[in-house]
């Protein structure tokens, strides 16, 4: 239980101060933070609250969104990533989670706004469209290999800055359901292909069960990730998939993922860090956050931390 | 245009006779059939109608659903697959598309019923559940590697029967969004790992852009599939994803897929067969089927068959 970390998105209605207090009340030692609520409280104030509470920050979400072609929007995105690196350092975590972005036309140049998250000043809401009917096909950037190359280029540009500040860029492969509009890194193997171009202290990977559970090559890739696993995150794949695919994650035990199997794989690869629970789900967000934390602890004990499967 | 095939699911409201007539009216030479509507018309009658119309049958959907453990349900599934092989032979196609099935507890032992499809006699509707809330986690089979092994075993069992009848089992890797409840074959590479255990005339693979477009390894895997590509199918990945993930497919041009890129990859691998358009989408199903066919032809010309990208 001392490795269990509450990613604050799981208790989305809580502000940072409330999430920190909630962790302390629940006896948790670690928390995963998101930049937007941290900005609302202030980075320095959040860092002070974390220190007072004696918590670890298991990761900061999120940098990334670097698939746009060279130009002003890309320069803005790179500047924002450097700010995110600074914030991670100030908050006392080593790990900045990178959600790399989708195809440019699908997500727009700006950081997409998640459900339940207020738009940051200056950022546009997602520009995704459903297409235009018989006579209005949508012209857009469909060059997926090029978008992926721009991710590799962007990471290479950020590495020196991250290394100077002791931050590991944690590349998060995302479920292929999000390839078009959120993350063109679709497999752990693909994330490692980029990470391995850099020192391990500079670029790591996130193993999030929701994103990678289906991958037939996952055993081999988790073994390959030894020494580069920045974060291990858990939440479940539930069926039928909820209507809003961004809120499709379930509490451990409600879905189809064998969490002990994945915990054993990352441990065999040498990972002994925090295990973050990050759940985007409208029903869970509508529940009382203290109840959600208690529920999460029970399910973690039963499905993740329990005896060998 | 002579390679364009209408998969009859694209015009879901048409019975088999109507779909055959619609193809002839539109000047198409090929049609992809589904077993359930063929059963409604009768297999022998459908075969006669196809012959009278002078159409090719580009494929028959679908065999599969062989992830259940050994026992009565599995024997029933294997018998049903042998019937499907017989039907493919009678209908004059070489290709039986195999949708292998999800985790047993997610889809149940029976063939799931698709939206817009009447339940076949004796088959149950999907048993998927959303999970039970705080104190009722769902006990189910979460052993994905074992389910995948049962697919390989089932294919091996069916191969001699298929070879005797001149049918190629066409393994269809499905988008990982369907891994839990519909198809545990998630990548073309994984499908080829199974196919390559058998003669090419017995086991091939389906390259469906909707299912494989996100795969970072797809160029290499399509090249590897040379000589085993049973079917090339096209439809688009649209965002935001429609609420019902089974009806999430879009008309070519409405989404994010670069179809010419994939057409060139399969052609480089030696594929010169039919190109099937198979779209599950409530809006398209609600439109006039003749309009849908005309629309499909225009979009095929513009996005799939057109000049080099």
Handedness of CA B133, B136, B141, B144 (dihedral sign): positive
Please report residues of A whose CB lies closer than 8 A to that of B257: 142
Please report residues of A whose CB lies closer than 8 A to that of B243: 243-244
Q: How far is A215 from chain B (nearest CA, A)?
A: 7
Percent of chain B residues past pLDDT 90, beyond the cut: 86
Mean pLDDT, to the nearest integer, of A39-57? Answer: 98
Residue B43 has pLDDT above 70, yes or no: yes
Mutate to test the interface with A, among B176, B249, B298, B308 (most CBs of A within 10 A): B176
CB-closest option in B216, B250, B253 to A190: B216
Per-residue pLDDT band for A207 (boundaries 50, 70, 90) equals: very high
- The structure tokens listed for B222 are 């399509």
CA A137 to chain centroid = 33
CA B33 to chain centroid = 10
Overall number of domains in chain B:
1
Do residue B239 and residue A144 have CB atoms under 8 angstroms apart?
A: no
Residue A254 has pLDDT above 70, yes or no: yes
Using CB atoms within 10 A of its CB, is residue A39 exposed (0-12), middle (13-18) or buried (19+)?
middle
- Which stretch of DSSP H or E encloses residue B271? none
**What is the distance between the alpha carbons of residues B114 and A292, in angstroms, rounded to a whole number?**
34
Residue of chain B with shortest Cα separation from A215: B186
CB-closest option in B131, B177, B187 to A254: B131
ipTM of the complex: 0.90
What's the confidence (pLDDT) of residue A1?
83
Do residue B180 and residue A142 have CB atoms under 8 angstroms apart?
A: no
Mean pLDDT, to the nearest integer, of B283-292? Answer: 97
Task: Decide if B210 is inside a domain.
Answer: yes
Please report residues of A whose CB lies closer than 8 A to that of B106: 239, 256
What's the confidence (pLDDT) of residue B128?
32
Q: How far is A234 from chain B (nearest CA, A)?
A: 15
Task: Decide if B253 is inside a domain.
Answer: yes
Do residue B132 and residue A254 have CB atoms under 8 angstroms apart?
A: yes
Task: Decide if A27 is inside a domain.
Answer: yes
**DSSP codes of every residue in chain A:** -TTEEEEGGGGTTS-HHHHHHHHHHHT--EEEEEHHHHHHH-HHHHHHHHHHHT-EEEEEEEEE---SPSSHHHHHHHHHHHHHHHHHHHHT-SEEEEE-B--HHHH-SSPPPPTTSPPPTTPPPP-------TT-PPP----HHHHHHHHHHHHHHHHHHHHHTT-EEEE----GGGTTTTBS--SHHHHHHHHTTS-TTTEEEEEEHHHHTT-TTHHHHHHHTTT-EEEEEE-EE-SSPPSSGGG-EE-TTSSS--HHHHHHHHHHTT--S-EEE----HHHHHS-HHHHHHHHHHHIIIIISSS--
Do residue A131 and residue B251 have CB atoms under 8 angstroms apart?
A: yes
Task: Decide if A29 is inside a domain.
Answer: yes
**What is the distance between the alpha carbons of residues B179 and B186, in angstroms, rounded to a whole number?**
7
Residue B197 has pLDDT above 80, yes or no: yes
CB-closest option in B216, B239, B257 to A128: B239
Scan for tokens 């852009």, then name that residue: B209
CATH of the domain at B182: 3.20.20.150
What's the confidence (pLDDT) of residue A287?
97
Task: Decide if A271 is inside a domain.
Answer: yes
The whole-chain average pLDDT of chain B stands at: 91
Please report residues of B whose CB lies closer than 8 A to that of A177: 175-177, 241
User: Which three-class secondary structure state does DSSP give residue B198?
Assistant: coil
The whole-chain average pLDDT of chain A stands at: 91
Task: Decide if A133 is inside a domain.
Answer: no
**What is the distance between the alpha carbons of residues B125 and B114, in angstroms, rounded to a whole number?**
9
Task: Decide if B131 is inside a domain.
Answer: no
Residue A115 has pLDDT above 70, yes or no: no
**What is the distance between the alpha carbons of residues A92 and A55, in angstroms, rounded to a whole number?**
10
**B135-188 residue pLDDT tens:** 566 678 999 999 999 999 999 999 999 999 999 999 999 999 999 999 999 999
User: Which three-class secondary structure state does DSSP give residue B5?
Assistant: strand
Task: Decide if A171 is inside a domain.
Answer: yes
Percent of chain A residues past pLDDT 90, beyond the cut: 86
User: Which three-class secondary structure state does DSSP give residue B32?
Assistant: strand
Angle between helix axes A72-91 and A43-53 (nearest 10 degrees) is 30
Residue A30 has pLDDT above 60, yes or no: yes
Q: How far is B166 from chain A (nearest CA, A)?
A: 30
**A163-200 residue pLDDT tens:** 999 999 999 999 999 999 999 999 999 999 999 999 99
Residue of chain B with shortest Cα separation from A255: B131
- The structure tokens listed for A12 are 């989305």
Cβ atoms of B285 and B293 within 8 Å: the answer is no
Mutate to test the interface with A, among B134, B183, B186, B300 (most CBs of A within 10 A): B134
What's the confidence (pLDDT) of residue A308?
54
Mean pLDDT, to the nearest integer, of B242-253? Answer: 94
What's the confidence (pLDDT) of residue A95?
98
Domain that holds residue A226: 4-116+142-304
Mean pLDDT, to the nearest integer, of A125-153? Answer: 70
Per-residue pLDDT band for A201 (boundaries 50, 70, 90) equals: very high
Please report residues of A whose CB lies closer than 8 A to that of B142: 256-258
* Chain length of chain B: 309
**What is the distance between the alpha carbons of residues B185 and B200, in angstroms, rounded to a whole number?**
18
More confident residue, B228 or B118: B228
């Amino acid at each position: 239980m001392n490795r269990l970390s509450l990613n604050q998105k799981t208790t989305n209605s809580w502000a940072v101060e409330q999430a920190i207090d909630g962790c302390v009340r629940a006896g948790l030692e670690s928390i995963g933070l998101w930049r937007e609520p941290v900005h609302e409280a202030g980075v320095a104030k959040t860092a002070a609250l974390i220190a007072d509470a004696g918590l670890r920050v298991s990761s900061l979400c999120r940098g990334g969104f670097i698939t746009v072609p060279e130009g002003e929007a890309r320069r803005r995105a790179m500047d924002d990533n450097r700010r995110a690196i600074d914030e991670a350092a100030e908050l006392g975590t080593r790990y900045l989670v990178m959600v790399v972005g989708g195809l440019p036309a699908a997500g727009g140049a700006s950081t997409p706004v998640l459900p339940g998250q207020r738009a940051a000043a200056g950022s546009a809401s997602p520009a995704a469209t459903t297409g235009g009917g018989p006579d209005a096909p949508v012209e857009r950037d469909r060059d997926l290999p090029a978008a992926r190359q721009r991710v590799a280029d962007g990471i290479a540009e950020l590495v020196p800055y991250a290394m100077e500040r002791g931050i590991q860029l944690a590349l998060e492969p995302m479920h292929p359901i999000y390839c078009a509009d959120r993350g063109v890194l679709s497999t752990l193997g693909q994330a490692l292909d980029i990470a391995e171009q850099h020192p391990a202290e500079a670029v790591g990977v996130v193993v999030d069960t929701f994103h990678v559970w289906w991958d037939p090559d996952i055993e081999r890739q988790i073994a390959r990730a030894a020494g580069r696993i920045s974060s291990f995150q858990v939440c479940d794949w539930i069926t039928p998939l909820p209507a809003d695919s961004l809120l499709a994650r379930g509490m451990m035990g409600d879905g189809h993922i064998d969490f002990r199997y994945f915990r054993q794989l990352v441990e065999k690869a040498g990972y002994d860090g925090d295990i973050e629970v990050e759940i985007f789900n409208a029903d869970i967000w509508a529940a009382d956050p203290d109840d959600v934390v208690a529920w999460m602890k029970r399910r973690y004990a039963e499905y993740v931390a329990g005896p060998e499967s």
